[in-house]
Amino acid sequence: MLTVVLSILAGLLVLDVIIQTAGLIAILPLLERSPPFAVEPTAPAPAAERVSFCTPDGLTLHASLHLPLDGQPTGTVIFCPELGGDHWSATWYCRALMEAGFAVLAFDFRNQGQSEKMPGYVPIHWLTEYEVTDTLAAIQYVKERPDLNELPIGLFGISRGSSAALVAAARSPEIQCVACEGVFSISTMSLHYTLRWASLYHPAWIMKLYPMWHVRSTLAMARWISQSRRGCRYIVLENWVRKLAGRPVLVVVDGRDTYVLPDITESLYQYFPQTTTQRWTVRGAKHNMAREVDAAEFDRRIVEFFSQMTSGARETASGAKSRSIALAPSLNSRLSS
């Protein structure tokens, strides 16, 4: 009897290994296939200061710094562009912040835009430690720059850049707030599409035989294999956003996003600190196109959100007090429009 039981268990184990191996073979190519994002190029801003800084592993990243023309900035916002975009896209997404008196530093990630390329690394849509390292280098540049190092700092990211901003903020307590649009995580996203694709090829009763922890473990194994052969380390965003408790976060959701579907956003949103996270859904907006749909409301909300980090600075920085008084009427009129 014991021999029969052991034989059955061995057979089930072999079957499970075969099924899991087949799953890995099917998942890996899909995991490493980057969607064809259509990113419109943005013209350079002649008034911006072109700057560069180095990462801890020795790469030079290129950036643009947009400073107010009429005085000391009230705060600094570091902009993290999407995959396929460059630092000049900040002139579209951060236009209202520039007009409201913020300094905006926008940079190109490694192997993107004008920044130096890392040999052997091909970036795709998933966030890795390399993009977080680049964002932390941008934060360090701001902290070491004499005209910016006493100002409050916030982060603003688009798509993959928003994931980098969130993780970098979680690791940097000096970051006061984070805004993001089109955010997604490799864990939540890959689980959603795995279940969706599997339902197309397997009967529902077969899917019900596998507990969710089993599916998650197969995906974790696929991530491990993928990052090993791509020479990078993926970041599971859910593990980091919890650490933003106590700091304001703005999540802009694109209502007609066919890539980051509403169900995916909802699953990820549950991991954010609920007491300090705002969610704004822009109906009719496709991926990263909330400002295309409603530029006035987008600008108003972004300025209002980042103004939270400057209110205390205006009261405590005596050297900038007169500047704060001068800005208040124009800022209030923008927020009430």
CATH number, position 266:
3.40.50.1820
Rounded Cα gap, residues 47 and 205, in angstroms: 62
Number of domains in the chain: 1
pLDDT confidence of residue 316: 39
Query: Which residues have CB under 8 Å from 93's CB, separation 6+?
Result: 79, 156, 158, 181, 291
* Per-residue model confidence (pLDDT) at position 38: 67
Answer whether residue 240 is part of any domain. yes
Q: Is the dihedral of CA 279, 281, 287, 293 positive or negative?
A: negative
Residue 73 lies in a domain: yes
Classify the C-alpha dihedral 30-82-148-305 as positive or negative. negative
Task: Look at residue 80 and tell me if it is in a domain.
Answer: yes
Residue carrying the six token digits 């980091």: 240
Regions of the chain short of the pLDDT cut 70? 1-27, 37-38, 196-210, 213, 312-337
Residue 270 lies in a domain: yes
Residue 18, in any domain of the structure:
no
What does the pLDDT read at residue 201? 54
Q: How far is CA 254 from CA 184, 249, 271, in A?
A: 12, 16, 19
Domain that holds residue 142: 49-186+234-336
The β-bridge partners of 105 are 65, 78
Structural domain includes residue 301: yes
Per-residue confidence (pLDDT) for residue 40, from 0 to 100 = 76
The answer as to whether 120 is a domain residue is: yes
Q: What is the DSSP string of 192-245?
A: HHHHHHHHHHS-HHHHHTS-HHHHHHHHHHHHHHHHHHHT--B--THHHHGGGT
- The predicted pLDDT at position 292 comes to 95
| Greatest Cα-to-Cα distance within the chain, rounded to the nearest angstrom | 88
pLDDT reported for residue 42: 83
Q: Is residue 279 one of the residues assigned to a domain? A: yes
How far is the C-alpha of 68 from the C-alpha of 49, rounded, in Å?
11
Asked if 187 contacts 219 with a C-beta cutoff of 8 angstroms, the reply is yes
The predicted model scores a pTM of: 0.85
Residue 215, pLDDT score: 80
Query: How far, in Å, CA of 204 to CA of 150, rounded?
Result: 58
Closest to 76 measured CA to CA, from 137, 158, 154: 154
